[in-house]
Amino acid sequence: MNSSAAAPLASQHRVPPPDDPAAARLLSAWHATGAPAALADHLRRHGPAPVAPAAGSRTSSMPLVEAAEAAGLTGRGGAGFPFARKLRAVAERGGRAVGVVNAMESEPASRKDQFLLAVAPHLVLDGAVLAAIAVGADTVHVCLPRTRTAQYRQLSASLSERRRARLDPVRLRLHALPHAYVSSESTSLVRWLNGGPARPQGSPPRAHERGVARRPTLVSNAETLAHLALIARHGPDWFRETGTAHEPGTTLVTVSGAVAMPGVQEVALGTPLAKILARAGGPTQPLRALLLGGFAGTWLPSEHLGTPFTRRDLAPLGSAPGAGVLVGLPRSVCGLSETARILAYLATQGARQCGPCRFGLPAVADDFAALAAGRADPGLLPRLHRRTGLLPDRGACRHPDGAARLAASALST
């Protein structure tokens, strides 16, 4: 991939250099050169990935699972699940497994995975291959939205580089999927790769039990795999040199809204929210609140800007890092109107396979629109509280849960 290929994305999203050099990990080559890393550049900076000589052998690669566990690596796609547990769950099923790279990034406020794949694609692909070997997979499916044609071409070129170099002992296959909010859900990817629609499938079995081609399947976020590639090279102790004791390492964050320099940052976990905003040039206006985690996230009042960016520190406030999104809402903008706009979008993005998406979410969106427009009837607020309480844990996927979480946080904030 040449440097011009990622130039449009790079120019749209500024990437400030980290205050702490230890926080420049995934984006270290970008900060050093300002250019995307082709395979030769990647190997010069990071060296070859410690790939086992043959795919399908778990015993030779189980130390990687143990290293991920010792490092405390958690998924960077939103749920924050311990990654070693995902690896073990697939590896212990037996038989040939399948790997899936989830690079769909359907969260509208997030650009982190797009940027990472644009400037450091081989870190993600190294991690995908290492994870595949660790779970006994012989094939990795890399899933992108078909609307991002430039990204597809760029990653296709990166895969061609690796094939020419005979670098990988597993097959890497690139796919372009239909793009919708719920198409990035892990069961949507498995369902589409099995020939069905890119919609969530809530019924068992789970992907790690029987996923693509009825084989145990590991579905991993792109950023998570890039971290794994660095842990394999440098070890868990190195990974824990930054971040917090409970949540080590760095993470990518997309900062937007009322800030001077919107863009993607790599920050140490535990960095205060105010410092992340400062690295984005600071607020352009006094802030009313922050949207954390994206459209399925939560509103956080501005008095909590000193809170460290970790799940542990945000949990008492009813919030979480989610997909690594921070959106600054200025005092000049109505938070209820913004929430109504987001809920109206989410109501159109459901798979419409079950009641919460077909009826519950549109009803909540309509109520919020009336509230924001000043057309609230006396029963509207009690009705909203009741409906947002009914939506979670009832659908085939977590889409209604995220919308309910956002609506509830708006009512309290």
Query: Hey, CA dihedral for 93, 97, 103, 105, is it positive or negative?
Result: negative
pLDDT of residue 219: 94
Residue ranges in the chain modelled with pLDDT below 50: 1-12, 53-61
pLDDT of residue 110: 93
pLDDT of residue 57: 39
pLDDT of residue 351: 65
Domains of the chain: 7-239 (3.40.50.11540), 250-330 (3.10.20.600), 335-412 (1.20.1440.230)
Count the alpha carbons within 13 Å of 351 in the hemisphere toward its beta carbon. 22
Please, which residues bridge with residue 299 across strands?
A: 291
Please tell me whether the peptide bond between 53 and the residue prior to it is cis, using omega within 30 degrees of 0: no
pLDDT of residue 383: 86
First-to-last C-alpha distance (Å) of the chain: 45
d(CA 87, CA 185): 18
pLDDT of residue 55: 42
pLDDT of residue 395: 64
pLDDT of residue 2: 31
Count CB-CB contacts under 10 A for residue 413: 19
Q: What is the pLDDT of residues 210-240, one digit of tens each?
A: 888 899 999 999 999 999 999 999 999 999 9
